[in-house]
Chain A
Amino acid sequence: MFRFPGTIFIFAATLLLQTANGAEVNVYAAASLTDVLKEIAANYEKQSSDKIVFNFGASSILARQIIERAPADIFFSADEAKIDILQIGGLIVNDTRRDMLSNSLVIVVPNDSKLAIASPNDLLTKTQKIAIAEPRAVPAGIYTKEYLSGLGLWEKLKPKIVPTENVRAALAAVESGNVDAGFVYKTDADISKKVKIAFSVPIEKGPAIRYPVAIVKESKNRLGAENFLRYLQSDNARKLFERYGFIVKF
């Protein structure tokens, strides 16, 4: 009679023990970092007993979660504004903050698109729907709005804008063909096989994109976080970031 509950108990205890031994490092990172960070983490785990657990999403949503005391150890944001908010709120360890990467924006269209878009101006006449990450909150959307406003195109393009939850969702919308074009990071466009780049925003003309990182003050695994953060700035990591198309700033 006690066999079954007994087995469950032992099983649960084993699980708990396992997680206690090789600790977890919870990394909350911008959606655009999904693929590169997963590969970096896979490499890291070969030489460390720690396990990297990711939570990818729009930096705005992640920041909000951390404010609500979600159990993050590291926050890797796609813009400074989000980390600034956390810094003001005393939620990050200030001297662990680093400027890590930069990126550039591109206009993508579905692979089979017949639209000839050679510049942002073409979007006015050739498209009906344009996907971008939510311009009120998500970094990729904020950057896009900044760029288009600078060109005087934002108000005119606004009726065509389809805001998505994060930059990868914008990419997916373009891939599905349900929108005519979208603004994503160049690193996102490079990964997708279903879209092609119609226009690359020149770095000098585009918004200043910054990806800062920091350790969360209430981290339960400070040591693990520091170790991984150090690895993120190693040569191995640098090579991977560059391979994926990010501009390395460290």
Chain B
Amino acid sequence: MWLTPAEWQIVRFTLAVCALSTAIILPLGLAVAWPLARHRWPGKLLVETLVTLPLVLPPVATGLLLLKLFSRRGGLGQFLHEHLGMDVVFTWRAVVAAAAVMSFPLLVRSARVGFQSVNQRLEQIARTLGASNARVFFTITLPLAARGIIAGIVLAFARAVGEFGATIVVAGNIPGKTTTLSLEIFETVQLGHDASAYRLLIVSALIAFGAVWCSEVLMKRSALR
């Protein structure tokens, strides 16, 4: 085997966590991108700023905010710990949370552009043909915005795979539990295990290629058939 079993576990873990985080932010991201793209409403600027924040803050700062939010003392973490016996900090859940928060803005931005590119005339016509708002959204808007949305998903996934700063703060680097590809590359460099570091680097590049290839396939198959 070219990669050690431990390295394989890390790759599988990273892909699983990033797929999960992307799946989680998808409905939420679309729900936020849509009103941002279409309407003007009070508080819009605030939401725009909040959504962009993880993009602009240093990742470790975002990690710190997540640490406070999910800490066992006070906040969400306390609730989860006491009522559900569930911990977030220093577990895989924190990895998902960090990946989700850091990649969210990229999805929203891309999806927003996708929505903005949809000809509103077509949505109007759909309504004259009797379609409800939900039907218009799912049968007209979404398919026509598909390019932007797919690009957003791929970007978000890629960002999740590359995520480091927030992850190491809120999830730590626990072998077998929270170690992701990025964290492991960092560790192997620290320890001087350069051969391992290069192997993992190649895997990262392959994942990047894979993501771009997927997006090309999806775009070809999407909306404009």
| A-to-B contact residues, CB < 8 Å | 60-61, 64, 128-129, 134, 136-137, 161-165, 173, 176-179
Q: Is the CB of A163 within 8 A of B173?
A: yes
Nearest residue (CB) in A for B189 is: A64
Q: Is the CB of A129 within 8 A of B190?
A: no
A177 to B89, CA, bound (A): 10
Residue B137 CB within 8 A of the other chain:
no
Q: How many A-B residue pairs have CB under 8 A?
A: 39
Residue B84 CB within 8 A of the other chain:
no
A165 to B183, CA, bound (A): 12
Q: Is the CB of A136 within 8 A of B71?
A: no
Closest Cβ of chain A to B224, distance in Å, is 49
Q: Which of A60, A134, A164, A178 has the most C-beta atoms of chain B within 10 angstroms of its own C-beta? A: A178
Residue B216 CB within 8 A of the other chain:
no
Q: What chain B residues lie within 8 Å of A177 (beta carbons)?
A: 71-73
Q: Is the CB of A176 within 8 A of B192?
A: no
Q: Is the CB of A162 within 8 A of B172?
A: yes
| B-to-A contact residues, CB < 8 Å | 67, 71-73, 77, 87, 89-90, 168, 172-175, 187, 190-192
Q: What chain A residues lie within 8 Å of B168 (beta carbons)?
A: 165
- 3 A-B pairs with least C-beta separation: A178-B89, A177-B73, A162-B90
A134 to B72, CA, bound (A): 22
User: Could you list 20 A-B pairs, sorted by A, with CB under 8 Å?
Assistant: A60-B190, A60-B191, A61-B190, A64-B190, A64-B192, A128-B87, A129-B87, A136-B187, A137-B190, A162-B90, A163-B172, A163-B173, A164-B172, A173-B90, A176-B71, A178-B67, A178-B71, A178-B72, A178-B77, A178-B90
A159 to B56, CA, bound (A): 35
Closest Cβ of chain A to B139, distance in Å, is 47
Q: What chain A residues lie within 8 Å of B73 (beta carbons)?
A: 176-177
Closest Cβ of chain A to B119, distance in Å, is 50
A61 to B190, CA, bound (A): 7
A sample of 6 more A-B contacts (CB under 8 A), given A129-B90, A178-B77, is A64-B190, A134-B173, A137-B190, A161-B174, A176-B72, A177-B71
Closest Cβ of chain A to B81, distance in Å, is 9
Q: Which of B71, B77, B174, B187 has the most C-beta atoms of chain A within 10 angstroms of its own C-beta? A: B174
A44 to B172, CA, bound (A): 37
Closest Cβ of chain B to A55, distance in Å, is 16
Nearest residue (CB) in B for A61 is: B190
- Residue in A163, A164, A165 whose CB lies within 8 Å of B175: A163
